[in-house]
């Protein structure tokens, strides 16, 4: 089938010389400069023709792999009534992230941030028996979230495209099978997209549910931090890392705690210096990890209720905002400010200690400890009086808390929760999330079916997302060099970029002929047929746009050759004119040939991706 070429003389495209002022990441800069997307408002973008082609390719891969596991495509509206979201509590829970609007009669609507409610209600509407299940349905659709910080172009948009699918099963074994099938399909999708990724354990956040994994594109500038073990196959988003608690220790015979003057020691570093000067230990110097740092924040619940929360962590560790955020979701964290301190006079800023913290203690403030602070551990901590600390305070003996919390930072070298060897940290972009949602939505929306015995049972669900528009940016983030984009074969906007250089009529005649011959073979050609543009500008544009194969028709014609350049490696070769069509077709179909113009991309295997997905 013939595929009409994209002619640059008429293509709706303007490449830009300068980086857009708001772009920090290479993917964002390059997608704008190369004419793939245009910003309309923060986190809202127009897809220009080349960008739309890449987006459609990502969609095609996702669709093919979902169809291959028997998931069925449907499409929900983006504009939704409030009622289903009220039934699940999310009209409130989602807070300011929802775009809300009213119709002319004053009824409340929203632009869907996610569609659990719609999937669940539609299945409830149409199905009623175990015989109807299992079922997997999906859509590729536009979502709206009024993100606090839209970022990096398509990576965190306020309007973005997601593939979301849901599985429906009668029992846990069915859910596990549906989850495993989706997981395998995701591995195929991300292999085909052609970038490096890892599969990590994840938290299931506001959705509830249990088993959960994320597919992260490995990326230096990614928003997510994950850890992987240097020895076993453990890999997890830092949000999901559960710090192995050391065993509790006996405290019989430990000396009594004593309060000491420690004037002007509001920070841990100053405190440690002061301890070593004024109260030297006989065995070793004091260090930050001997201190218990108590941090206080304000938790703002959906609907606006504000609740202070105190967290005790070893003094050598900071609180990780994302880890803390994941623990309190859907609530949000705000700083505990001066006015709040005035409201809680029991707190001595800079010298807070477990003495007043805890729901049953003087302040009444909820107090949670890092899992390392087990019974029998001994600490230096605030004495709740400005300028004083208490030395030798023993957990379990001298203080208790209201529970533990995973909020302290995770560092390179920390112990693997699975095998105890050192962990290492790295960054990534969340591309997909699969999890076993369980019965949460089915319960609140009463999705039940009759089982084999004629008894009503609540359906169990799995939820599976892919960031489709985010994938375009994530691939760009992983596949570029200093000159521009370098698309993987499966999602490139065109198979080959034919560049006609110079002024000679025969060059354009030959390039026209080549383009037509390639089009007739089903190759999608981006053809630079512009007459008054210099070769230098054309080459620069070709590098910027990033089609993986560039064919240069120009000077070589004098000696009967045309040049093929590999965009990724820069490798060039001259091919005799009479062999050029076959050579280009072979190039774009890959070494294994076959009928498809678009060959399967070899997995860009990293040890991380293999380690996590095998």
Structure tokens at 117: 């409610």
Q: Which long-range contacts (CB under 8 A, 24 or more apart) does 438-446 make?
A: 438/175, 438/208, 438/209, 438/210, 440/207, 440/208, 440/209, 441/88, 441/116, 441/117, 441/120, 442/120, 444/87, 444/88, 444/89, 445/84, 445/87, 445/88, 445/117, 445/120, 445/121, 445/124, 446/124
Q: Does 63 bind ligand ATP (CB under 6 A)?
A: no
CB of 442 to ligand ATP, least distance (A): 18
CB of 123 to ligand ATP, least distance (A): 20
Q: Does 433 bind ligand ATP (CB under 6 A)?
A: yes
By CB under 6 A, the residues from 377 to 416 that bind ligand ATP are none
CB of 157 to ligand ATP, least distance (A): 4
Measured in degrees and rounded to the nearest 5, phi and psi for residue 550 equal: -115, 130
Residue nearest to Mg ion (CB): 433
By CB under 6 A, the residues from 148 to 167 that bind ligand ATP are 156-157, 160, 162
Contacts with 456 (C-beta within 8 Å, 6 or more apart), sequence order: 448, 449, 450
CB of 563 to ligand ATP, least distance (A): 39
By CB under 6 A, the residues from 161 to 220 that bind ligand ATP are 162
CB of 149 to ligand ATP, least distance (A): 10
Cβ–Cβ < 8 Å for 169, 123: no
By CB under 6 A, the residues from 463 to 482 that bind ligand ATP are 465, 467, 469-470
**From the list ligand ATP, Mg ion, none, which binds 162 (C-beta under 5 to 8 Å, kind-based)?**
ligand ATP
Piece of 123-131, 253-261, 388-396, 426-434 that binds ligand ATP (CB under 6 A) = 426-434
**For the purposes of burial, counting CB atoms within 10 Å of the CB of 249, is it exposed (0-12), middle (13-18) or buried (19 or more)?**
middle
Residue from 35, 209, 432, 462 touching ligand ATP (CB under 6 A): that is 432
Cβ–Cβ < 8 Å for 296, 336: yes
**From the list Mg ion, ligand ATP, none, which binds 191 (C-beta under 5 to 8 Å, kind-based)?**
none
Beta strands at 525-528 and 6-7: parallel, antiparallel or unpaired? parallel
Nearer to ligand ATP by C-beta: 326 or 383? 326
What 3-state DSSP class applies to 175?
A: helix
What 3-state DSSP class applies to 263?
A: coil
CB of 470 to ligand ATP, least distance (A): 4
Measured in degrees and rounded to the nearest 5, phi and psi for residue 19 equal: -70, 140
Structure tokens at 224: 């997510």
Cis ω on the peptide bond leading into residue 121 (within 30° of 0)? no
Is the dihedral angle over the CA atoms 152, 156, 157, 162 positive or is it negative? positive
C-alpha–C-alpha distance, residues 156 and 473, integer Å: 10
Residue from 93, 132, 146, 147 touching ligand ATP (CB under 6 A): that is 147
**For the purposes of burial, counting CB atoms within 10 Å of the CB of 2, is it exposed (0-12), middle (13-18) or buried (19 or more)?**
exposed
Piece of 53-61, 258-266, 351-359, 424-432 that binds ligand ATP (CB under 6 A) = 424-432
Q: Does 27 bind ligand ATP (CB under 6 A)?
A: no
**From the list Mg ion, ligand ATP, none, which binds 182 (C-beta under 5 to 8 Å, kind-based)?**
none
**From the list ligand ATP, Mg ion, none, which binds 549 (C-beta under 5 to 8 Å, kind-based)?**
none
Piece of 59-67, 116-124, 430-438, 499-507 that binds ligand ATP (CB under 6 A) = 430-438
By CB under 6 A, the residues from 245 to 264 that bind ligand ATP are none
CB of 147 to ligand ATP, least distance (A): 5
**From the list ligand ATP, Mg ion, none, which binds 134 (C-beta under 5 to 8 Å, kind-based)?**
none
Residue nearest to ligand ATP (CB): 467
Structure tokens at 31: 């997608």
Nearer to Mg ion by C-beta: 433 or 440? 433
Residues that bind ligand ATP (CB under 6 A): 114, 145, 147, 156-157, 160, 162, 430-433, 465, 467, 469-470
């Amino acid at each position: 089938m013939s595929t009409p070429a994209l002619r640059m003389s008429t293509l709706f495209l303007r490449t830009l010389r300068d980086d857009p002022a708001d772009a920090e990441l290479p993917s964002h800069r390059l997608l704008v400069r190369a004419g793939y997307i245009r910003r309309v408002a923060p986190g809202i973008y127009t897809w220009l023709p080349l960008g739309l082609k890449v987006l459609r390719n990502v969609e095609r891969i996702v669709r093919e792999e979902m169809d291959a596991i028997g998931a069925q495509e449907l499409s929900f509206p983006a504009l939704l009534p409030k009622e289903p979201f009220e039934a699940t509590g999310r009209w409130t829970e989602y807070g300011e992230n929802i775009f809300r609007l009213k119709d002319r009669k004053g009824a409340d609507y929203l632009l869907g941030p996610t569609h659990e409610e719609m999937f669940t209600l539609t299945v409830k509407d149409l199905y009623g028996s175990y015989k109807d299940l299992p079922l997997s349905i999906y859509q590729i659709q536009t979502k709206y979230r009024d993100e606090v910080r839209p970022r990096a172009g398509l990576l965190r948009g306020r309007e973005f495209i997601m593939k979301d699918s849901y599985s429906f099963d009668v029992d846990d074994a069915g859910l596990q099978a549906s989850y495993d099938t989706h997981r395998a399909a995701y591995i195929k999708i991300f292999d085909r997209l052609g970038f490096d990724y890892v599969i990590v354990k994840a938290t299931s956040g506001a959705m509830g549910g249990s088993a959960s994994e994320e597919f992260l594109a490995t990326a230096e500038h990614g928003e997510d931090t994950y850890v992987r073990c240097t020895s076993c196959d453990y890999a997890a988003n830092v949000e999901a890392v559960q710090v192995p608690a050391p065993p509790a220790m006996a405290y019989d015979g430990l000396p009594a705690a004593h309060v000491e003057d420690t004037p002007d020691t509001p920070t841990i570093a100053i405190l440690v210096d002061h301890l070593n000067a004024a109260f030297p230990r006989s065995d070793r110097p004091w260090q930050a990890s001997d201190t218990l740092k108590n941090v206080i924040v304000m938790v703002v619940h959906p609907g606006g209720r504000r609740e202070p929360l105190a967290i005790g962590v070893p003094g050598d560790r900071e609180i990780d905002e994302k880890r803390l955020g994941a623990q309190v979701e859907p609530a949000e964290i705000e700083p505990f400010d001066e006015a709040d301190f005035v409201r809680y006079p029991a707190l001595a800023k800079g010298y807070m200690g477990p003495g007043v913290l805890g729901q049953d203690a003087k302040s009444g403030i909820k107090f949670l400890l890092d899992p390392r602070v087990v019974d029998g551990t001994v600490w230096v901590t605030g004495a709740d009086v400005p300028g004083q600390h208490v030395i030798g305070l023993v957990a379990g003996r001298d203080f208790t808390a209201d529970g533990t919390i995973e909020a302290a930072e995770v560092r390179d070298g920390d112990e693997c929760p699975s095998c105890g060897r050192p962990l290492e940290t790295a960054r990534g972009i969340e591309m997909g999330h699969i999890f076993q949602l369980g019965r949460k939505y089915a319960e609140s929306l009463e999705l039940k079916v009759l089982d084999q015995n004629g008894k009503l049972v609540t359906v169990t669900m799995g939820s599976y997302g892919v960031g489709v528009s985010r994938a375009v940016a994530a691939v760009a983030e992983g596949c570029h060099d200093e000159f521009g984009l370098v698309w993987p074969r499966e999602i490139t906007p065109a198979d080959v970029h034919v560049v006609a250089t110079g002024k000679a009529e025969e060059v354009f005649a030959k390039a026209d002929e080549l383009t037509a011959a390639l089009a007739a073979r089903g190759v999608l050609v981006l053809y630079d047929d512009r007459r008054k543009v210099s070769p230098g500008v054309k080459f620069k544009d070709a590098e910027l746009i990033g089609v993986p194969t560039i064919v240069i028709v120009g000077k070589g014609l004098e000696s009967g050759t045309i040049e093929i350049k590999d965009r990724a490696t820069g490798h060039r070769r001259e091919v005799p004119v009479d062999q050029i069509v076959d050579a280009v077709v072979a190039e774009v179909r890959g070494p294994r040939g076959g009928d498809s113009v678009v060959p399967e991309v070899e997995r860009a295997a990293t040890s991380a991706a293999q380690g996590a997905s095998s």
